[in-house]
């Protein structure tokens, strides 16, 4: 993947932009989850930059334990939204938590891009041989997700890390192999100040 200014940030920890410095702690504290997105398209170069940040994350046994599925098709995004509504109903019935019933999932219908992060248990590393192990791939994907969220924040984009889905249904929607697992779906797009939420 082509080198970008983000590579410099990840390698050296700073980037001179208008005589300012990128502070990793400011980025961590400044990032927020977004639940309203503008309909503007996100360019391929921006997506590539965010994915480049993802693959700089640590992974076990020198294996890249992840795959990334970039979803722009409104029909597919609509299926993800409809499935999330079903999951919300199940959660409400099983938990009894009243706030779930009023929680809006419209963001999953309106977002211009979703990046599904898929983990491969076969690439989990040596931890598979330990009692209670076999989760190294999951942790690697989590690290990649954090890199993506911070990179998107630095690029002025909003994100939301969604985990409200059933594995089997998601495999069917996205054509994911039965041996692999969807870790999260990252909603990505342009936003405005009023649409960001507290952490």
Bridge-based pairing of strands 181-189 and 158-162 is antiparallel
User: Cβ distance 57 to 143 under 8 Å?
Assistant: yes
Domain residue limits, the chain: 5-195
Residue 98 confidence (pLDDT) above 50: yes
* Residue appearing with tokens 């076969």: 122
CB atoms within 10 A of CB 125: 19
Taking only the tens place, the pLDDT of each residue in 8-29 is: 444 444 444 433 456 788 888 8
Q: Is 38 left (phi over 0), alpha (psi -120 to 50) or beta?
A: beta
- Distance, CA of 6 to CA of 72 (rounded, Å): 23
* pTM metric for this prediction: 0.84
| CATH class of domain segment(s) 5-195 | alpha beta
Q: 3-state DSSP call for residue 35?
A: coil
- Distance, CA of 188 to CA of 199 (rounded, Å): 17
For the chain, percent of residues with pLDDT exceeding 90: 67
Nearest alpha carbon to residue 160 among 170, 149, 151, 150: 149
Q: Rounded mean pLDDT of the chain?
A: 86
């Amino acid at each position: 993947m082509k080198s970008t200014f983000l590579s410099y940030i990840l390698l050296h920890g700073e980037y001179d932009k208008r005589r300012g410095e990128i502070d990793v702690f400011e980025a961590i504290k400044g990032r927020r989850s977004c639940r309203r997105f503008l309909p503007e398209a996100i360019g391929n170069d921006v997506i590539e930059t965010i994915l480049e940040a993802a693959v700089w994350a640590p992974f076990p046994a020198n294996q890249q334990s992840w795959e990334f599925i970039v979803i722009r098709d409104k029909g597919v995004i609509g299926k993800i939204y409809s499935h999330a509504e079903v999951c919300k109903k199940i959660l409400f019935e099983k938990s009894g938590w009243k706030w779930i019933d009023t929680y809006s999932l419209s963001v999953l219908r309106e977002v211009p891009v979703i990046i599904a992060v898929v983990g491969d248990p076969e690439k989990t590393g040596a931890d598979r041989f330990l009692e209670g192990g076999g989760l190294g791939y999951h942790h690697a994907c989590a690290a990649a997700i954090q890199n993506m969220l911070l990179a998107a924040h630095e690029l002025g984009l909003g994100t939301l890390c969604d985990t409200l889905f059933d594995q089997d249904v998601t495999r069917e929607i996205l054509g994911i192999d039965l041996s692999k697992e969807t870790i999260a779906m990252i909603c990505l797009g342009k936003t405005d100040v009023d649409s960001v939420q507290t952490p």
